Amino acid sequence: MQPRCLTRRLGFLLTALTLSLQFGATQAQANDRALQDALQAARQKEWHKIDQSTIDDHILVGYVDYHRLLDQLPQAEPGRINAFIERYRDSPLADWMRGQAISRYGEAGRYQSLLRVADGQPDGAERQCHYYTALLGPDPQQAAAGGRDLWRVGQSQPSACDTLFNSLRAQGEIGEVEIWERTMLAWQAGETGLASYLGRLLGSRWENGRAAMALLQRDFSAITRIPRCLGPECRASSSLLAAAMHGFTRADTEAALEAWRKLEPGLVIEPDHRNAIEYDLAFYSMVRDIRQNRGWVDQALLRLADDDLLELRTRNALAKRDWKWVIHWLGQMSPDNRDDSRWQYWLARAREQLGQDVQANEAYVKAAADRSFFGFAAADRLGQPYALNLERYAIDDQTRARVARWPVVERTEALLRIGEPGLAASEWYAAVRRAEPQDARALADYAKRRRWHAKLVQTTIAGRMWNALDWRFPEAYRERFLHWGEQTNVDPYLLMGIARRESAYNPQALSPAGARGLMQLMPATASQLGQRLGIGDPGPYGVLDPELNIRLGSTYIREMLDRYSGNRLAAAAAYNAGPGRVDRWLRDAPNEFDLFVESIPFRETRDYVQAVLSYQVIFESLAKGGNSEGISMLSPMEKSVRYDRSLLASN
């Protein structure tokens, strides 16, 4: 064949291939548009707008089928519901359909149909009430047990529970004792309307209990004067004491303990109620640092053996630098809690202060094996590199090709193409939760290659891949962090640590308090920063732009660093809790960096500071190939400076 003819033939083939690919892409886009339009019509119940033949072969046809079947409930027979659940068992559609069927069948009183689609107790009080109502006939014992659990709360339950509760009351499964106990729970929860309603359901035998409750609502201190026996067979006394002492302790802890010490000798009370009362007394006595209560608290802690209370008592001992008591209270913790790097670090510090260097070194070694703030602080004490405990997983090309064809991956991709990121996330995370470890790792690898940063982080959490640091701390928006770090003179790895802690790289993240975007800026803060930078108020949606969010967040942490003389511990605390609070904390803070961190009164901020500083180490180590040598979590100044008001640059 002549070269010219061969060239012409190859040209024809390339043209044909290009046209074929273009046609395929155009057809795929048309299919997506048809599905997108059908899904929108299905949500509006505009079935006449859907041409089923155009979507039958689409990977997302189940989403349209879901709305069509949902529209036919509760008339649709359970066989059709179960067939749908089986067909889409690898998708969250199955669980959604089961839950909706339980609700719709329950509302319609189709209890046999409900039980045919249920798979054990469902989630949520409303569906649980429907479920146990359905069991009243076939399994009254289980219905009664489940119904009593739903009854035993201090808040109002959904109206779906009315039939169940009324039936159990008529059968005597919920009697006056249960009504009284719920009345006390409602009073304790501040639900006075519910408490009044329940109180009216009680007979005359409970009159002295109601009278005692009315007296205590006016005056908690009257608790020492009410009769020891209330209600029939004294059944009202124990729960009344628990509810009243809960309110009394919160209102006046010192007086409440004095009253409890008068009441407690010879008192007949349920063990759970006694523990709840003493827990509250110990907790509020320590939080409010009531010295007169300290002796009683220390005795109660030995009885209660509660790790949360023991942690608080240990922190109180640390605040006073009472090293012997630090060791004592650490010894009372459960072994699992005591072995945490945080408490091993403090055990080492205490022993070091007491001159027990060998034991201190042993505890530092245990703490330094952990990848955490206190693990890194322990490593600094030992003069050794940080233990990153990094694991990397190799995913071969054959596995990657297979993963790309998994239905969950295809559905996720298709949902993203048609503008349904919320549904895409539901598909993805449901798959990760179901996956075996090797499949979860394959999904994480896919998310990394697709640069789905937020999904990647959440995949490692759902899949419990704690040591897969390359995946848990991806290089998301790296160039932007490097750029704005240079512009604001802030370490870019600190910026990465803040963003990772704040939003896990979700640019659309919105906190319950209203903070927005990658670095979780409040709209008012973003507005002030924008005005100072001369770019104006970005508004509540403009602040979601990753570039602008990183710029504003970098500027804000720079301001906090300037406020606290470059100290990242104080600046990170202020980024989370506000500078006003940090200024107050520094007024009464201990001098050393570790004691300052432990003294932060808000647990959220205490954990936040530790996370941001340790995350900075991880990001910097990953940038060096996973090597932490030469990296220091804290600067020499941050380790040695006095943590008091002298940190404020204005002083």
Task: Give the position of tokens 């209600």.
Answer: 231
> Measured between alpha carbons, how far is 111 from 167 in angstroms, rounded to an integer?
15
> Measured between alpha carbons, how far is 415 from 401 in angstroms, rounded to an integer?
20
Task: Give the position of tokens 């003294």.
Answer: 599
Distance of CA 13 to the CA centre of its chain: 56
The residues near 151 (Cβ < 8 Å, ≥ 6 apart) are 157, 165, 168, 174, 178, 182
Both tokens assigned to 254: 């010192």
Both tokens assigned to 494: 């600190």
> From the candidates 502, 620, 629, 638, which is the catalytic residue?
502
> Measured between alpha carbons, how far is 342 from 318 in angstroms, rounded to an integer?
13
Q: Which amino acid is at 589?
A: A
DSSP for 551-604?
Answer: HHHHHHHHHHHHHTTT-HHHHHHHHHH-HHHHHHHHHS--SSHHHHHHH-S-HH
Both tokens assigned to 331: 């010894």
Catalytic: 502?
yes
Q: Do the Cβ atoms of 41 and 50 come closer than 8 Å?
A: yes
> Measured between alpha carbons, how far is 566 from 641 in angstroms, rounded to an integer?
11
> Measured between alpha carbons, how far is 350 from 358 in angstroms, rounded to an integer?
12
Say how many CA atoms lie within 13 Å of 609 toward its Cβ: 26
The residues near 216 (Cβ < 8 Å, ≥ 6 apart) are 222, 223, 226, 240, 244, 247
> Measured between alpha carbons, how far is 179 from 203 in angstroms, rounded to an integer?
11
- 3-state DSSP assignment of residue 10: helix
The residues annotated as belonging to the active site are 502
